[in-house]
Chain A
Amino acid sequence: MATGVSILPAQQLAALNDAYRKAVARKRLKTMMAGAVFFGALVVAGIGAEVNLRTLFTYFGNFVSYFDRILTLDSGQRVWTDVGEWFWGWQKWLKLLAETILISYVGTLIGAVFAFALNFFTAQNTSPGPWLRFIVRRLLEFARTVPGIVFALVFVIAFGLGPMAGVLAIAVHSTGALGKLFSEIVENADMKPVEGIRSTGASWLSCMRFAVLPQVSAGYASYALLRFEINVREASVMGFVGAGGIGQELVVAIRKFYYSDVSAILVTIIVTVFVIDITTGWLRAKLFGKEARA
């Protein structure tokens, strides 16, 4: 084996090594401190959340056996040996599932329309006035930060039980989430075409329609589709608080220990989410090419 390096004399080497160690030690100390702070926070949080590792270990078996139980029919057989029995309530569930999807569709579309109407006010480059921008921004922030299900809780009281509350809750939350994303797209839009259109004597509205909209519409549709996918998941739990959809059935099945029903409903939800995930992904790729997928 050939050597390409002659080892330096010990003294020179020691000096070099010392310098290296000193430089590295400073970095290491920083990392260690950050690690210690993080670990301390974990310990405090562990006490706060009443985490008990022993509980976890004793109950972990229960977690596994829970899945064993939900995959067993009343007759003691595995669920997939008798699919008819497993999905005995499929007509009812499919109807509720359709309602769930409809809730998220209507909620997303209403949210997207509102977000569309509001986002030109909030984007820095298109906003007609700073005070308007500030107010709309705060409103959107509020709608985005408060979880959809909290809106649903309140709306159930205001509008009565039923899917209407769920739709409105999803619409409000989506307005907040999409409004922010939409205005970010507008802020990234190229302003030179706007200048060009304005130079022909066009109004603010025309500028938005002909210079900004063509640049941003693909991004809008892409985000709206993504939001729809998220909202399907969200709508599946709206029934927990009485705001419509399949959640109502699920919560009853879980609480009353109708084990095989739990797995049947979960499977329907997961399959639906998959199908919608794949469809919207395909749509987004087809409509706007690869770059819009991110």
Chain B
Amino acid sequence: MLVVEGLTCRFGTKAAVDNASFSVQPGSFVGVIGRSGAGKSTLLRMVNRLADPTEGRILFEGVDVTALRGKALRQWRARSAMIFQQFNLVGRLDVLTNVLMGRLAEIPSWRSLTQLWPEQDRALAMSALEQFDMAQFAAQRADQLSGGQQQRVAIARALVQEPDIILADEPIASLDPRNTKIVMDALLRINKHFGITVLCNLHSLDLARSYCDRLIGMAAGRVVFDGQPSMLTDHIARELYDLEANDVIGGAPMPAPDAATAPALGTAAAA
């Protein structure tokens, strides 16, 4: 179980995450929702320890993750696999090597630095790629792939880490609708099939509602909602997203044009 206690992260005087507390049951698919700048990314990065919390603790199965150092820290990073909005692959390395990066914490440094990957690790990486129909691209450079393909490679990299929890930071924000579905389905399959916990930042409320078992809503760094997707009423969503509400809540009617702007447009058209 992942427990977050009073987690705070300040950059200067501004708190990106402000006293966040919640816990996540193993095997659940949790969506973190909120406006851009609400602190979702910082929260996930702190769990993986890419960012260091100013206050508070993160516990995983009773172990204080925030206190880890050195090798123990690297092993925790491997156990909490991260998927990024911009994929964060190494563009000039080939796809298979990129996936093998997920094994770095397990393999002795002299082997990985000389690229003498153990045979079973290669097999694991290749199988992970095949699982996402990417095995035929194994020898290609990562920066020659499309965005959707790159994100599938990134998920394969996350999977070969054999993680207990996957942290996905806006995994679909740079993708088109077709690849969005592929990636979200893959995350769902990983979650349901292998029982890996998924903690996923999402901007789109529709996607969050249809994929997640539980939603955590953040605003200005605070956790302001925590519960089943069904409990998230339109009213709460509007408060969460404020002005952006209409962009993220599908099917909501467009508001009538504002009276103040209409004449200006009218005169422009007339002129």
**Whether chain A touches chain B in the assembled complex (some CB pair under 8 Å):** yes
A positions within 8 Å CB-CB of B: 1-8, 12-13, 16-17, 19-20, 23-24, 27
Q: How far is the CB of B153 from chain A (nearest CB, A)?
A: 14
Which of A5, A7, A8 has most B Cβ within 10 Å?
A5
- The number of residues on chain B lying at the interface, defined by a beta carbon within 8 Å of a beta carbon of chain A, is 27
Contact B135–A2 (Cβ < 8 Å): no
* Stretch among B1-9, B14-22, B35-43, B188-196 lining the A interface: B188-196
Contact B126–A4 (Cβ < 8 Å): no
Which of A2, A23, A27 has most B Cβ within 10 Å?
A2
Which residue of A3, A4, A12, A17 contacts B122 across the interface (Cβ within 8 Å)?
A17
Contact B190–A4 (Cβ < 8 Å): yes
**Chain B residues whose CB sits within 8 angstroms of the CB of A19 once the complex forms:** 136, 138-139
Task: Pick the 7 closest A-B CB pairs, nearest first.
Answer: A23-B139, A4-B159, A20-B138, A8-B127, A5-B128, A4-B194, A7-B127
Contact A3–B162 (Cβ < 8 Å): yes
Assuming the A-B contacts A2-B164, A8-B130, are A16 and B196 also in contact, with contact meaning beta carbons closer than 8 angstroms in the complex?
no
Instruction: Type the 1/0 row for B215-243, where 1 means its CB is closer than 8 Å to any CB of A.
Output: 00000000000000000000000000000
Assuming the A-B contacts A13-B123, A24-B94, are A5 and B138 also in contact, with contact meaning beta carbons closer than 8 angstroms in the complex?
no
**Chain B residues whose CB sits within 8 angstroms of the CB of A3 once the complex forms:** 162, 194
Main SS of chain B's interface residues?
helix
**Chain A residues whose CB sits within 8 angstroms of the CB of B123 once the complex forms:** 7-8, 13, 17
Which residue of B94, B124, B138, B194 contacts A16 across the interface (Cβ within 8 Å)?
B138
B77 within 8 A of A: no
**Chain B residues whose CB sits within 8 angstroms of the CB of A6 once the complex forms:** 127, 131
**Chain A residues whose CB sits within 8 angstroms of the CB of B131 once the complex forms:** 5-6
Considering the complex, give the chain A residue whose CB is closest to the CB of B97: A24
Q: How far is the CB of B250 from chain A (nearest CB, A)?
A: 30
| Contacting residues of chain B (138-169) with chain A, CB-CB under 8 angstroms | 138-140, 158-160, 162-164
Considering the complex, give the chain A residue whose CB is closest to the CB of B193: A4
Which of B120, B127, B131, B162 has most A Cβ within 10 Å?
B127
**Chain A residues whose CB sits within 8 angstroms of the CB of B163 once the complex forms:** 2, 4
Assuming the A-B contacts A16-B126, A24-B94, are A2 and B139 also in contact, with contact meaning beta carbons closer than 8 angstroms in the complex?
no
Considering the complex, give the chain A residue whose CB is closest to the CB of B126: A16
Q: How far is the CB of B18 from chain A (nearest CB, A)?
A: 32
- Could you name 17 residue pairs across A and B whose Cβ atoms are closer than 8 Å? A1-B164, A2-B163, A2-B195, A4-B158, A4-B163, A4-B190, A5-B162, A6-B127, A6-B131, A7-B120, A7-B127, A8-B130, A16-B135, A19-B138, A20-B138, A23-B139, A23-B140
Q: How far is the CB of B41 from chain A (nearest CB, A)?
A: 23
**Chain A residues whose CB sits within 8 angstroms of the CB of B96 once the complex forms:** 20
**Chain B residues whose CB sits within 8 angstroms of the CB of A16 once the complex forms:** 126, 130, 135, 138
Q: How far is the CB of A43 from chain B (nearest CB, A)?
A: 25
Which residue of B130, B138, B195 contacts A23 across the interface (Cβ within 8 Å)?
B138
B79 within 8 A of A: yes
Contact B162–A4 (Cβ < 8 Å): yes
Considering the complex, give the chain A residue whose CB is closest to the CB of B195: A2
Q: How far is the CB of A286 from chain B (nearest CB, A)?
A: 27
